[in-house]
A and B are shown apart, each in its own frame.
Chain A
Amino acid sequence: MNDIAVHQFPVLIVTTGVFSALTILVVGLFNRKLCYYIVLFTTTFHFVLSILTLNHVLTKGRIQYWLGGWRPPWGIEYVVDELNAYVLVVILFLSFLGIVYSKRSVEKEIDERKHPTFYTLMQLLIAGCCGVVVTGDVFNLFVLAEVASLSTYALVAVAGGRALRASYNYLILGSLGICFYLLGIGFLYAVTGTLNMIDMKILLQNLYYNKMVQVAFVLVLVGLGIKAAVFPLHTWQPDAYTYAPSAVTLIMSTVVAKAFIYALIRLVFSVFTIDFLKIYVDAWSLIPVISAVAIVVASILAYRQNDIKRMLAYSSVVNIAYITLGISYFTSHWSLSGALVNILNHAIAKGCAFAAVGAIIYKTGIKDIRNYAGLAKKMPYTSAALLIAMLSLIGLPPSVGFVTKFYLAIGSLEVQNYLMLAIILLGTLLTLAYFLKVIEELYFKHSENNAEEAPLSMLAPTMFLAILCLAFGVYWLTGIPLDFVEKLVTVIR
């Protein structure tokens, strides 16, 4: 592949994504059936582009693209290094599967008249998230984050009824989070006079003791923390995940959450850098405490739920806490690896779980786990996928969830923090406790109901993700990709 062509790919993914969204809106006026295929085609195309980008980044080094040819401190720059490219592939891979999955689910859950606008928003959401991941400009990140967020608010509300208030809460809190982020970059702009991430990192080096920079750090952390649903700021998330249509929950839990946790990691490690964190290590040591509390409290809350989607939503809070726990021990190589690897691992496992749950809702309408009895016989493949996803989230070897916990456990030994090890083990036990409730109903109770297996277009992505849960678990553990993880960690150190 021509090098110059590859340099255009990041910007192409974002621009063609937005363009495709507008096309869908226009095409939708004439032909509603075609809309879905446009999204499917665009996402597949973008996924291929992202793979080529990752390949280029891994073999030839990072990509920098200047929009409109304006040089970095003035113009907007798109920078793709190993970490970006990896998250971009994860996001587009799961969007692709999510879109394949959404066809039947959307046909059933959403009025046919609304399909064009639904897919327009879906496409805007994906394009916005890709933009958040590839951009190297803090203000551009704000704009693209708003593109993604506004589409998400509307998509959550599609179902109507109870979803409306969930969406409204999400809108108020999410916009407030973005506002904090904007205020934070306003402070950074006031002291550095630049908006480019690389430039800002260099200019900030002499300003680490500046009060403006300290406040900006807190504002950015809180702002992006709200968007990524980091523990005490997660309150919008369970409602939004529960009442959104299945396809939207699938995309939100895998694509949106990952894009924003990436933005958080990027801002903290690439703009403020580890040197900044080392100065304020006392304040930063609050983060592992918060993460530990999050793992315990969110697990207990998950245990109390009977609605499967809400339970999985709290499980997402726990998994985001694993990521923040990983990045909080930035001195440990393994701990950071665990956090970064969990971006993929959690996306696969949670994507699989939400896909299987969506398939069950599609066929039977059951959302309450107390009615799950006997489903394993009627829907064997979906149930198997759900089982594998739950075992992954619990952390049974050789699944992906085990890898995360294994890396984090080694990381805790590396920094000699045995309390963290205990928290990881406790988290595993609590996860086992709440998923055992589901597994028990699903596999060990019998009852008669006339459910049948989900359609192929929903089953295939679900099964594929279930297989990946195990395949990636083996892959991460065999030692081959450690070189790759090494590269990811070097980016943020």
Chain B
Amino acid sequence: MIEEFLEHYNYWTSVLIIFIGLYTIFAKNNLLKKLLGLSLVQTGIFLFFISLGDIGSLQTLGIGEATPPIIWEEAEKRGYLYVNPLPHVLILTGIVVAAATTCVALALLIRIYKEYKTLEEDEIIEMEVERGE
């Protein structure tokens, strides 16, 4: 049980990060903290994807540590395995997308702060009700 856990500790960590992120999004009142939660969810998913590419964790199956996906004649002679680079490339795109999302969100937060002078959601809602919107 514990061995299984330790062997896949990166997957467990990604699950943990995703759930902390989800909790932050739904439980926190501060809009900035919600954004932090979203970033955590995204990071957790990236960790999951990157773990997918790794072959090193399959040592129990008799497969050795995989090398980085770089063409190297010596490695080919010795019959080394390569880490699957595709998930890494996908996540490179994913990171860009996540950065863009964070940028848009932060820009919005600046506008919201200028408008309401606070980022607490309940206070903003109160002010909206007062304004009769």
Contacts and interface: CB of A to CB of B under 8 A. Distances in A.
Interface string A171-209: 110011001001100100110000100000000000000
B101 A164 contact: no
B61 interface: no
Interface string B28-68: 00010011001001100100110010000000000000000
Contact of B100 (A150, A157, A172, A186): A150
B4 interface: no
Nearest to B93: A143
A345 interface: no
Categorize the interface residue count of chain A.
20 to 34
A281 to B, nearest CB: 29
B98 to A, nearest CB: 8
Nearest to B34: A172
Contacts of B25: 172, 176
A157 B111 contact: yes
A456 to B, nearest CB: 33
Given A168-B31, A176-B38, A186 B108 contact: no
B105 A164 contact: no
A146 interface: yes
B109 interface: yes
Main secondary structure on A side of the interface with B = helix
A332 B75 CA distance: 57
Main secondary structure on B side of the interface with A = helix
A179 B112 contact: no
B101 A150 contact: yes
Contacts of A186: 45, 48-49, 52, 87
A157 B38 contact: no
B133 A168 contact: no
A55 to B, nearest CB: 34
Contacts of A154: 104
Given A165-B112, A168-B105, A182 B38 contact: no
A164 B41 contact: no
Interface string B9-21: 0000000001000
Given A179-B42, A183-B45, A168 B100 contact: no
Given A157-B111, A182-B45, A186-B45, A171 B31 contact: no
Interface residues of B, number: 31
A161 B115 CA distance: 7
A303 B43 CA distance: 42
A183 B45 CA distance: 6
A139 B87 CA distance: 11
A160 B97 CA distance: 24
Given A143-B97, A160-B115, A162-B128, A171 B41 contact: no
A207 B111 CA distance: 48
A154 B103 CA distance: 11
Contact of B35 (A153, A172, A182, A189): A172
B124 interface: yes
Interface string A130-168: 000000000100110010001001100100111011011
B27 interface: no
**Considering residues B42, B45, B97, B100, which has the most beta carbons from chain A within 10 angstroms of its beta carbon?**
B97
B52 A179 contact: no
A198 B1 CA distance: 38
B107 to A, nearest CB: 8
B104 A153 contact: yes
Contacts of B52: 186, 189-190
B108 A157 contact: yes
B90 interface: yes
Given A150-B104, A186-B45, A164 B111 contact: yes
A153 B100 contact: no
Contact of A179 (B41, B90, B111, B121): B41
A77 to B, nearest CB: 15
A183 B52 CA distance: 12
Contacts of A142: 94, 97
Interface of B: 18, 22, 25, 31, 34-35, 38, 41-42, 45, 48-49, 52, 87, 90, 93-94, 97, 100-101, 104-105, 108-109, 111-112, 115, 121, 124, 128, 133
- Give the top 4 A-B pairs by smallest Cβ distance, nearest first: A146-B97, A164-B112, A162-B133, A168-B108
Given A168-B105, A176-B41, A189-B52, 13 more contacts: A146-B101, A157-B111, A160-B115, A161-B133, A164-B108, A165-B128, A168-B109, A172-B35, A172-B105, A179-B38, A179-B41, A182-B45, A182-B94
Interface of A: 139, 142-143, 146, 150, 153-154, 157, 160-162, 164-165, 167-168, 171-172, 175-176, 179, 182-183, 186, 189-190, 195
